[in-house]
Amino acid sequence: MSGGGGTFRINHSLINKIRHHLSSGGSKSFYSSGLIMFFHPAPELPIVERRNWLIHQHYIHKDFDTCKVIVKEQLQETNGTCEYAIYVQALILRLEGKIQQSLELFQSCAILNPSSADNLKQVARSLFLLGKHKAAIEFYHEAARLNEKDWEISHNLGVCCFFIKDFKNAEEHLNMALQINKHDRTFMMLGQVHLLAGESDKAIEVYKRAVEHFPENTELLTTLGLLFLQLGKYQRAFEHLGNALTFDPNNYKAILAAGSMMQTHGDFDVAMNKYRVAACAVPESPPLWNNIGMCFFGKKKYVAAISCLKRAHYLSPFDWKVLYNLGLVHLTMQQYASAFHFLSAAINLNPRMGELYMLLAVALTNLDDVDNATRAYEQAVTLDVSSPLVNLNFAIFLYNHVDKKGALDQYQEMERKVNLLRDTSSNFEFDLELMDMAQKMGAALQVTESLVWTKPGKDSKSKPNSAAATKPPGTALGTNQALGQAMSSAASYNKNLQLQAGPSMPLEPEPDVDRAPSPPTDPPGSPLPAESDNPKPKSSKRKAKVEE
Amino acid sequence: MSESSSDGGKWLDAHYDPVAGLFSFSSCVDLADLSGDGESRLVVGDLGSGSSGMKLKVYRGTALLSESTLLDLPSGLVAFFMDLHEPRVPAVAVASGPCVYVYKNLRPYFKFTLPGLEVNTLEQDVWQQAREGQIDPLTLKEMLESIRKKADVPLSVRSLRFLSLETNDMDEFVQLHKQQPIRRQTVITCIGTLKKSTADEDGVSCLVIGTESSDVYVLDPEAFIILSKMTLPAPPTMMDVTGQFDVEFRITVACRNGNIYILRRESDKPKYCVELASHPVGLVRVGKNVVVGCSDESLQGFTQKGKKLWQTILPAPITTMAAMDLPTRGFQAVLVGLANCEVQLYRDKNLLSTIKTPDVITSICFGRYGREDGTLIMTTKGGGLMVKILKRTAAFADRDSAPGPPLAQSVRLNVPKKTKLYVDQTLRERENGVAMHRAFQMDLSRMRLAAAKAYVKALESSLSPVSSSLSEPLKMNAVVQGLGPSFKLTLNVQNTAACRPVMDLAISFLYDESLYRMKHPYMRIPLLVPGLVYPVQTFVECTSDKGISDIIKVFVLHEGKSCPLLTAHINMPVSEGLMLN
């Protein structure tokens, strides 16, 4: 009551009634307050918190300018003792990115009211944002002493531990937070902690629980889908990604992952529909344009494929996968000189992949450079462990260059790899054209026994196989097709060359193959699952699975 | 203001005054039949400029009916029946500061002040001692500070103000205030009404008050005594009350810590708690469920036990929310004011319609105004007042918001067309691929050879500005200053060896003597201590006025050797001045 009792008009006829009320509890009439004013000359001090509600109103409405004006007035009125005004001022400063200033203000809040856990929490939060995780942890512990069961404190402690790579404590704190209250953010964080600690099965469990609690959270669904995708559980991955897309049809990550799965199954049109949505949302994404390019490639629109891949390459010039695909498409277009450049660039970036050398060898074969092609093939065979394609191509190449013995060696190596693949996974499917070519090769090399994949046990599949085999090369869809085509064209080309058999002009030794820089960290395993969807030759197996 | 297509012509524009000068929140707006003539009036607590001009305004139709000044900012306003007298005329309660001002027939009727909060006994003792002159202000300050650090009960305003004073103001302050008893007061943050014993439309209601001290009080409407007191973990910001005080009631309170608490009759502590991810901006009850708008641009539905039912994302931040209840049609929905100048109508998570407004809406009130049941009253950020009437023919189709394929799916991909040039080049490569490859490889190796030769030559003749020889590892750079015709040439020479000094060095220049004249074409360099940069300066004069420039070559030589250690080529700038002859 700031000395203004007189301005409030009063109906005198009601005074009796007011007197009556005066006796009942802590109420007093306007009039009587005026009287009290008269006897006490000392001005009554305004209540410090009197405009806290207004500050809060403006703050949550994000009307920061008005908010700051009121805060300033309030601080002037109370001589800087209004805790909440300082608190909001600090929150606004933090939102504006002035974290150091906000930290100082929160600290002064903590001085004004040392018993408030919230002030300590905010001090810790600002420290956390400044990257001082250890100091933040200390403050959170202090806040936890004031307020035992607080979800936020446990969660943020977990996050801080996560950032200083103390995964064990992080897990503990986050689980504690989940016990107090289940928040999607905590689930997300706990999953990440498990992933970084290398426990993807635990992470999947966490995300599964999270999805049960938050069935509509697209981020959780997408993450779980991508995890399943990485583990090769395509059915479940697709289920979760599909759910994510139902709730948010514009989710870029889910679109890319689901699209790449459709693409490997050959549903290029459906995948393209999805990519169009993503292209509106994130028009400058290299993996997106790479996938769109390979969709066009699958649909045999090679020029469009090249322009999309080139866009991807422009956006991410050091991505070997884009270069790999560009090399592949150019091989298909019989632009061997261009293919050579893209492939050698890819090898420079990723010198540990046998298939890249094989493609380079195919390009070199077509460029009439037998010596370097041989060296590339040799490199490919040494690096590759599981792809029978590499050995088959080498065998064909050797056969065409009158090295029957070498061809036979490679052919047997290929058979070994095929057997290995068949043993490791029971329903492994091989590319039709690969089988066809291998059979022809076997006949040419006069290998008597029939190959493993034509055994009677696989009769159920022999029908579609033979149907596909009778098709002229190039009609079947599928990304592996291109390689098959590249491979077969290499073979036919070499057959022609066989007749000339003249000594070809020795060229420069290919520097890219020989002096390849030392390998980077890891072969194909890429960090972003959404990116690891380049259609590769081996993708054919998934396609076959759907057709069954 | 025209009816936009999105609201489908469901509303009649009854009134719009963009300069009504009405600044208010939804909590300070109510509709009530204040004179008992069957015509509802609009009662608004106007916040004015925030520091002055606070008023209680009553509108009838399009006209301002009455206006009375408020002492402090109104934090809430409700109309309620406080007695059973005939005619049935509701009173208006305005919460402001620590008081509730009750108006009847638009006249001040009663003021209720919140009871004072508990005062720290230690603090009281200390001030008692100060009053009796036992301690001086400095001791008082120390003692108060130590109380502040440990005490559970916070200090009073007076002590806080005292602690923030300068030393020389303290004495005066103590003299002025010491005679009064210490009081701690709190302020009201939100207000609501709760039917006392009957659910009738015009039944007597209790006032429900939320305070800054995190308490909720229920007041008796006639005697204004506190019927019930409940405590929350944080100061409340908004509340919704349902039920009857004597039977069973439920108070849903949004608090400043971002949580929502549900209070019930039997307990003075919250029964349920909802932890939100962001601050609640609006709280509206629809039937038995509670709809909460959050500052992260989401709208969420909860059961009355605090279980989350649904969530939907809004296109813009929420500014205010209100319930839309049409009992005659059995229609209930939520009106959400957004920062993008829209008001959206939601039933559960489904968007029913959108109203475009010329300004951002800060308060919404839906109900009976005048004699019209479905009236929507909104005030804008710029102080405007807008009244819309729901058409009797308006129907809200409850279509499912599950969208079809997003629009973007039909947008064509931006893939460039195939050009003739591209096709030609492709064909050329197909035909002459081998030749192109060989030519490229040939040229590549030639280029490499040429580069290697140039490099070797540079190394052999010390053409580079860095010498890496073991005996004299040197570095040099040159700076040219001036506009001409005379330039200052500074050569920074550095000995890059770890510890060995270099001596017996000289610098000589090679230049076109018809163009330049140099003061010292030959200079000796002092002993070079490792690591230090030695600037060697000389002046160059350009003798030509034809505006041409040339290269000056600098050689660093070792005395007694003709082969230079370093060479630098300085591209001289064109002289911009004329020679003064």
**Structure confidence at residue A453 (pLDDT):** 52
Query: Within a 10 A sphere around the Cβ of B146, how many other Cβ atoms?
Result: 12
Beta-carbon pairs below 8 A across chains A and B = 207
Q: Is B539 helix (H, G, I), strand (E, B) or coil?
A: strand
Closest among B267, B263, B294 to B281, alpha carbons compared: B294
Smallest CA–CA separation between B271 and chain A, in Å?
Answer: 16
CB nearest to B158's CB, from A45, A50, A115: A45
Helix boundaries (H) for A232-353? 234-247, 252-264, 268-281, 286-298, 302-315, 320-332, 336-349
Q: Is the pLDDT of residue A485 over 80?
A: no
| Chain A residue with the nearest C-alpha to that of B429 | A335
Query: Within a 10 A sphere around the Cβ of B514, how many other Cβ atoms?
Result: 9
Record: contact A1-B97, CB cut-off 8 A: yes
Give the confidence band of A92 by pLDDT, cuts at 50, 70, 90: very high
Residue A544 makes CB contacts below 8 A (sequence gap 6+) with: A429, A461
Taking contacts as CB-CB distances below 8 angstroms, the residues of chain A near B157 are 45-48
Smallest CA–CA separation between B41 and chain A, in Å?
Answer: 22
Smallest CA–CA separation between B111 and chain A, in Å?
Answer: 6
Taking contacts as CB-CB distances below 8 angstroms, the residues of chain B near A66 are 50
Taking contacts as CB-CB distances below 8 angstroms, the residues of chain A near B281 are 60-61
Do residues B59 and B65 make contact, with C-beta atoms less than 8 angstroms apart? yes
- Give residue-wise pLDDT tens across range A192-247: 999 888 888 889 999 999 988 888 888 899 999 999 988 888 888 888 888 888 88
DSSP category for residue B151? -
Mutate which: A12, A18, A27, vs B, most B CBs within 10 A: A27
| Chain B residue with the nearest C-alpha to that of A40 | B180
Record: contact B445-A78, CB cut-off 8 A: no
Closest among B121, B182, B140, B180 to B157, alpha carbons compared: B182
Instruction: For residues B55 and B32, give the distance between their C-alpha atoms in angstroms, rounded to a whole number.
Output: 17
Q: Is the pLDDT of residue A518 over 60?
A: no
Closest among B572, B564, B414 to B484, alpha carbons compared: B572
Taking contacts as CB-CB distances below 8 angstroms, the residues of chain B near A4 are 71
**Structure confidence at residue B127 (pLDDT):** 85
Q: Is the pLDDT of residue A376 over 90?
A: yes
DSSP category for residue B117? B
Do residues B57 and B64 make contact, with C-beta atoms less than 8 angstroms apart? yes
Taking contacts as CB-CB distances below 8 angstroms, the residues of chain B near A33 are 111
Q: What is the pTM of this model?
A: 0.70
- Mean pLDDT, rounded, for A331-359: 91
Smallest CA–CA separation between A323 and chain B, in Å?
Answer: 18
Q: Is the pLDDT of residue A172 over 80?
A: yes
Record: contact B108-A338, CB cut-off 8 A: no
DSSP category for residue B184? B
Record: contact B97-A115, CB cut-off 8 A: no
Smallest CA–CA separation between B193 and chain A, in Å?
Answer: 19
Question: Which residues are bridge partners to B535 per DSSP?
Answer: B492
Instruction: For residues A481 and A193, give the distance between their C-alpha atoms in angstroms, rounded to a whole number.
Output: 41
Instruction: End-to-end CA distance of chain B: give it in Å, rounded.
Output: 81
Q: Is the pLDDT of residue A25 over 90?
A: no
Q: Which of A108-112, A249-253, A436-440, B27-31 has the highest mean pLDDT?
A: B27-31
Q: Is A162 helix (H, G, I), strand (E, B) or coil?
A: helix
Taking contacts as CB-CB distances below 8 angstroms, the residues of chain B near A18 are 110
Record: contact B176-A42, CB cut-off 8 A: yes
**Structure confidence at residue B105 (pLDDT):** 87
Query: Within a 10 A sphere around the Cβ of B309, how many other Cβ atoms?
Result: 13
Amino acid type, B3: E
Smallest CA–CA separation between A149 and chain B, in Å?
Answer: 13
Mutate which: B185, B273, B410, vs A, most A CBs within 10 A: B185
What order do you get walking across the sheet with B385-390 strand by strand? B11-17, B385-390, B372-380, B361-369
Over chain B (581 residues), the average pLDDT of each successive run of 10 is 54 90 90 87 88 88 88 90 85 91 89 87 84 82 82 80 81 81 88 89 89 91 89 91 91 91 88 87 90 91 87 90 88 92 89 89 91 90 91 75 63 82 90 91 95 86 71 85 87 86 87 87 87 89 82 86 83 76 50
Closest among B453, B431, B466, B428 to B564, alpha carbons compared: B466
**Structure confidence at residue B142 (pLDDT):** 85
Q: Is the ipTM of this complex over 0.90?
A: no
**Structure confidence at residue B403 (pLDDT):** 56
Secondary structure of A349-416 in the HEC alphabet?
A: HCCCCHHHHHHHHHHHHHCCCHHHHHHHHHHHHHHCCCCHHHHHHHHHHHHHCCCHHHHHHHHHHHHH
Closest among A408, A461, A459 to A431, alpha carbons compared: A461
CB nearest to A7's CB, from B69, B107, B256: B69
Amino acid type, A425: S
Instruction: For residues B216 and B303, give the distance between their C-alpha atoms in angstroms, rounded to a whole number.
Output: 22
Record: contact A25-B224, CB cut-off 8 A: yes
Record: contact B409-A276, CB cut-off 8 A: yes
Taking contacts as CB-CB distances below 8 angstroms, the residues of chain A near B224 are 21, 24-25, 27
Taking contacts as CB-CB distances below 8 angstroms, the residues of chain A near B163 are 81
Instruction: For residues A173 and B107, give the distance between their C-alpha atoms in angstroms, rounded to a whole number.
Output: 58
Q: Does A230 touch chain B (CB under 8 A)?
A: no
Instruction: For residues B389 and B511, give the distance between their C-alpha atoms in angstroms, rounded to a whole number.
Output: 92
**Alpha-carbon distances of A505 from A399, A509, B448, rounded to whole Å:** 21, 12, 20
